[in-house]
Structure 1
Amino acid sequence: MSKAFEAIDRLKSEWDTLQPLALENERRLWQKLRLEWNYHSNHIEGNTLTYGETALLLLHGQTHGDHSIREYEEMKAHDMGIEHLRFLAADRARLIGETDIRDLNRIILKEPFWKPTRTTEGQPTRSKVFPGEYKTLPNSVITATGELFEYARPIDVPARMQAVVEWLATSLGERSLHLLQIAAKLHHDFVLIHPFDDGNGRVSRMLVNYLLLREGYPPLIVPTGEKNSYLTSLRLADAGDLGPLSEFLGTQLERSLKLAIKAAKGESIEEPSDVEKQVALFVRGEQARKKELGLPTGEVLGQLAETSFYPFIAELERKLDGLKPLFSKCNVVTENLRGARAFGAGVSRQEIEFQIPGGQILMSFRFLGYRGESSTPFDHTSVVGIHFPPGKYTITQDGNVLVSKPYTEPILNEEIDQITARILAKIFGVIRGKASPRE
């Protein structure tokens, strides 16, 4: 027995002594393994959902990203396949059979679809895939050297699948091989047959984990980052050497066992890469929540700032600049920023960017020390606000709403002129009313 197998056996013994797990430890361990299994097994086959998008979909039922509907459905169907596999593995009174394997394929593929393929002459065509049914046309793959690798002929599939199931029953009964060696041969024999038109890779990895779960191990994950090593071990198995595939699966199982033992002891099972995954999940979740609530994203607000808010503030200050001769001092103070600046100095982009997370921009236009003829010197302040509530943004003057628009609609130039003119008219009206009339 190799040292790798001995290490696995030691870890398995330790894992067994920690049973049963506290419910909370079992829950967090399974959630991690379930998400990684779904993400990696599908990503290896070309699914483009990120880990964060996978978690958002499976844990919260929400979607995000520019992916095809089929990719989302594929991920959910695979998750259902995993649950069915756990059900099969829990029944130690019976061994998985051909019908069960076909059911797994049916569950993960869900419904018939057309798949691009090539004719025997190499011409592009397409064929219809029927989930859970053995292939009726030959399937093959082009190797890295340009060779055509043929899988089992369709006519041979039923007999060869029956032989695999019978061999599995015999091997588990005799136990002359380590469980990892049985798993490696089962995996490779299944891939050599390639019994289905699609989903063979995912089902083959499910069969490996069926054996592990049935024998009380945690499932192993074939990481997408190790895809090349994984495929190399399969090619070496094609050449008759199952050792590298057994070793590769052992490495992945060792990781799962160490993770499971840490979880059982109540220790953290967060890995360095998990922090990045959780950040991505949190960001996606927040973006999805904002979308659901009608809240704007930073990108949308940035576009509105360029097309509407900056031009609006610049034009407002230009109009209010005409009132300067009437006062000793005029300036504008932006909420949460220290100090004041003169009109016309130009609005700082940092001001708007600083205010966006707070949900509004408030600008106090201050006119200090009236210089005209008045019985009593006076000041005047008018507060103009741009607010970002759910659904629509608004522009207000002293609490009165002047504009209310969806985040998809900018303020047009003629609207900016009209709104700023209304603000100027109201301020001028108040100032004129406070000033004493001439005799």
Structure 2
Amino acid sequence: GNPLTLRETALVLADKIAPQGTGTDAVIEAMNGKDAWEFARGFKGQINEVFIRKLQYQVTKNTVCRIQGEYRDSHVGISGSEWKPPKPQEVPVQMKKLCQEYSQKRKLLHPVELAGWIHNRLVQIHPFTDGNGRTSRLVLNWILMKNRFPPIIIYVKNKQEYYSMIEAGDAGEEKPFANFLAKQLVEQYTFRKEETGE
């Protein structure tokens, strides 16, 4: 993850001030995150391959990522996971299938379940050389926002549980990740209520 604190990120985004000792990569990643977030918020269509590729471009532009906005052309692994993503030549077919399945599932699943499902599928396919996690979380949050839920923030304290829930998804268990997302929503509603009194 990005080493910037919330306050440091705010300084980078609002005032273009990089904290002393902060690497350029962290600053670029924060700025790209803002651009990607704004791009996602402005998107009015349905999830499709072009949208997902454009999100990945937004999170990786101006970085060392070799391929931006296009699917990977090499094998990748997922650090800390036994899951083996598909071969690069299988990625376009898998992504087309993902978008077709999304069109069907969006009519059947609760938005939180749908967001969890597509996040896990994107992480499993790992369609890009870099930015897969950030892109998956943006798609997840886009679905939540489109359905009038607030975006979910995965806090550092919940990072291990987040990875465990992804592994459950890799094993074919979708419910644990949806439950994790629901728990995050409740925590964030509670936090907002405590902070604002609303």
Which structure is higher in helix share?
A: 2
1:277 counterpart residue number: none
2:51 counterpart residue number: 100
Which structure is higher in strand share?
A: 1
Query: What SS does the corresponding residue of 1:150 show, helix, strand or coil?
Result: coil
Task: Please say which structure displays the higher CA radius of gyration.
Answer: 1
CA distance in 1, matches of 2:149, 2:141: 9
1:40 counterpart residue number: none
8 Å contact kept, 2:25–2:63: no
8 Å contact kept, 1:188–1:237: yes
8 Å contact kept, 1:53–1:63: yes
Aligned length: 197
List structure 1 runs of 4+ shifted beyond 6 angstroms. Answer: none
Question: Which stretch of the first structure deviates more once superposed, 54-63 or 204-213?
Answer: 54-63
Listed as ranges, the matches of 1:86-235 within 5 Å are 86-88=41-43, 91=44, 94-111=45-62, 113=64, 129-143=66-80, 148-173=82-107, 175=108, 177-235=109-167
Query: What SS does the corresponding residue of 2:78 show, helix, strand or coil?
Result: strand
8 Å contact kept, 2:28–2:62: no
Looking at both structures, which has the greater relative contact order when contacts are Cα pairs under 8 Å and sequence separation is at least 6?
2
8 Å contact kept, 1:234–1:245: yes
- Residue type matched to 1:155 in 2? Q
Q: TM-score, structure 2 length as denominator?
A: 0.92
- Residue type matched to 1:106 in 2? Y
CA distance in 2, matches of 1:268, 1:180: 24
Query: What SS does the corresponding residue of 1:113 show, helix, strand or coil?
Result: coil
1:162-209: CA deviation from partner (whole Å, max 9, x where unpaired): 111111111123x2x222111111111110000000000011111110
Listed as ranges, the matches of 1:274-313 within 5 Å are none
Match of 2:23 among 51, 68, 76: 68
| Unpaired runs of at least 5, structure 2 | none
TM superposition shift of 1:112? 5.3
TM superposition shift of 1:60? 2.3
TM superposition shift of 1:97? 1.1
1:269 counterpart residue number: 196
| Unpaired runs of at least 5, structure 1 | 1-44, 115-128, 271-439
CA distance in 2, matches of 1:67, 1:202: 20
2:12 counterpart residue number: 57
CA distance in 2, matches of 1:143, 1:218: 29
1:31-56: CA deviation from partner (whole Å, max 9, x where unpaired): xxxxxxxxxxxxxx3x2112221121
CA distance in 1, matches of 2:111, 2:163: 21
8 Å contact kept, 1:217–1:257: no
